[in-house]
Chain A
Amino acid sequence: METPLSETLLSETGERPLQLPLDAWHRARGARMVPFAGYEMPVQYEGIIAEHLWTRSSAGLFDVSHMGQLIVHGDQADAALESLLPGELKLLNDGRLRYSVLLDEDGGIVDDLMATRRGGHFYVVVNGATKHDDLEVMRLRLPRTVIDHMHEQALLALQGPRAVQVLERLIPGVAELSFMQGAAFTIAGKPAWVSRSGYTGEDGFEISIAASAAEEVAEAITADPFVKPIGLGARDSLRLEAGLPLYGHDLDRATTPIMADLGFVIGKRRRAEGGFSGALRILAELEQGAPQRRIGFTLDGRQPVREGARILDAEGNEVGRVTSGGFSPSLQRPIGMGYVATHLSEAGSVLMLEQRGKLFYATVAPMPFVPHRYHRKAAA
């Protein structure tokens, strides 16, 4: 394998990244900071497994201020966005969120994102590592649309089964939000945009506030004994258990929404009308299937098979690659995601994985690995 311990330990240091608004706050709480997406980010406080299980059983506070928060202005913002995203945005109600993907001309995924209609504009949250590229793509391809980057905005996520009771104490009325709905509130005397959404599979909220208010808001939330700060390490293991793809790993420009098993992002009207970037290819794949498909897998034993491992068929031919792999703290077994030839993507199919010359048997498993517990209200 050729990875000495000294190197694994060193690989967490590098050139000087930017600091989050809560940098000092994280350090004071014992966070280990690592460079990620151009920022120094807290990877863990007390330990990834403990933080992971705490989030699943109580409530965890994540600092995701590295993510890009954008405003797409104008009456025609929905039409403009619909030329780049395959989702139904024209009929999206005020205060509703939609998960979508930004597409290049070939239908490859430039980023995945959340778009919210917020009065006369759209509020769009994109990945931290890709936000500058996204802005460039959007400004180039939507030259008549004004797009602002909210540089001075922080983003916190409160996730877990106790998130709602914790936040309701600080923001009376917030419990009325249903999954994928947002509204303006006040928290600790500061204006905030709060949505019921997240990246863990749990019920929870994302809270957008001015960077200058971040410390006060984080203090107010973590004053509740049900809340602990949670690092990036557990964020990754939680999203993997929830079957949620991570851009740059499980999604990239070489993958389309159909390959990524994200067909649900293509709105019903959009399927009939097309008119979005890469529509020709994506609608053909929707009809005929894509050559590869994103799958989840489980492994026996305890050893994780990680990103980059080759996936082989019974004859030893390469039929795909692992794109995320790790140890599931909730299930106490290794799990992962990858892409395989579509004929091998049915749940229950047995795959062979090769990592550092060692072979592993994996079984294609339905995702999420751990059931989602979103707060969905019955349709009115």
Chain B
Amino acid sequence: MTLYFTKDHEWIRVEGDTATVGISDHAQAALGDIVFAEVPEAGRALTKGGEAAVVESVKAASDVYAPASGEVIEGNAALVDDPALVNREPEGGGWFFSMRLSDPTELDGMMDEGAYREWCKTL
């Protein structure tokens, strides 16, 4: 199992050719109270860097991008009723969707956890 992060503050946890995607603790803290999340439905095709989900705080709406290409296995239904789960467990129970990767080599060169946390300190 490997954990990567994007410069758009998504994380992707990879196991073989499947992966789970969410937003980082840094992102949820900066957004503040999250009041709405829209997750993709199973079967939807995602393109690396394309819009995959929506997250809205009290103040603003943002896109969550697909860190890699592939097909959605499942959107996290728990977020629909309890979007604040993203604030409480951003890198755990507050995941947005799981997916089957079409090209795992797309992950090459992405930041690992240590590199991401260091990079956040520079923002």
**Known contacts A4-B65, A5-B55: A47-B8 contact under CB 8 Å:** no
| B62, A306: Cβ atoms closer than 8 Å | no
**In whole angstroms, what is the CA distance A1 to B52 when docked?**
11
Q: How far is the CA of A327 from the CA of B58 in the complex (A)?
A: 6
Assuming A233-B58, A233-B59, A302-B83, is B35 touching A5 (CB within 8 A)?
Answer: no
Tell me if A326 counts as interface (CB < 8 A to partner B): yes
Describe A's contact surface by its main secondary structure: mixed
Expressed in whole angstroms, the Cα–Cα distance for A77 and B123 within the complex equals: 51
The answer to whether A49 touches B33 (Cβ under 8 A) is yes
Residue numbers in B under 8 Å from A6 (CB-CB)? 7-9
Taken together as a complex, chains A and B put the C-alpha atoms of A241 and B10 apart, in Å, by 33
- What 1/0 flags go to B50-86 for Cβ under 8 Å of A? 0100111011111111000000000000001001000
Fill in one digit per residue for A29-54: 1 if any B CB lies within 8 Å of its CB, else 0. Answer: 00000000000000110011110000
> Is A3's CB within 8 Å of the partner chain B?
yes
Say yes or no: A304 contacts B63, CB within 8 Å.
no
B45 CB–A CB distance under 8 Å = no
B36 proximal to A (CB < 8 A):
yes
Asked if A288 is an interface residue, CB under 8 A from chain B, the answer is no
Measured CB to CB, the closest approach of chain A to B25, in angstroms, equals 12
* A323: Cβ under 8 A from any B Cβ: no
Complex Cα–Cα for A330 and B80 (A): 19
Residue with the greatest number of chain B CB neighbours at <10 A, chosen from A12, A49, A237: A49
Q: Which of B9, B56, B62 contacts A304 (CB 8 A)?
A: B56
A3 touching B35 by the CB < 8 A rule?
no
- The 0/1 profile, CB within 8 Å of A marked 1, for residues 18-59 of chain B is 000001000100111101101000000000000100111011
A326-B9 contact, Cβ under 8 Å, with A3-B63, A302-B36, A304-B36: no
- Which residue of B has the minimal Cβ distance to A232? B59
Smallest CB–CB gap between A115 and chain B, Å?
31
In the complex, what's the smallest C-beta–C-beta distance from A49 to chain B, in angstroms?
4
Q: Chain A residues with Cβ under 8 A from B31's Cβ?
A: 5, 8-9
> Which B residues are CB-close (under 8 A) to A3?
60-63
Q: Which chain B residues border A5 with CB–CB below 8 Å?
A: 8-10, 23, 27, 31, 55, 62-64
Alpha-carbon gap, A3 to B8, bound state (A):
10
Complex Cα distance, B32 from A329, in Å, reads 13
Which of chain A's residues have a CB closer than 8 A to the CB of B38? 303
Partner of B63, one of A1, A49, A302: A1
Q: Is the CB of B27 within 8 A of A9?
A: yes
| Inter-chain contact B32/A1, CB cutoff 8 Å | no
Interface flag for A2 (CB, 8 Å):
yes
Contact with B along A159-194 (1 / 0, CB 8 A): 000000000000000000000000000000000000
**Interface membership of chain A positions 98-138, coded 1 if the CB is closer than 8 angstroms to chain B and 0 otherwise:** 00000000000000000000000000000000000000000
List the interface of chain B (C-beta within 8 A of A). 7-10, 23, 27, 30-33, 35-36, 38, 51, 54-56, 58-65, 80, 83, 123
10 A-B pairs with least C-beta separation: A327-B35, A8-B62, A49-B33, A48-B58, A5-B9, A9-B30, A4-B8, A303-B36, A5-B62, A6-B8
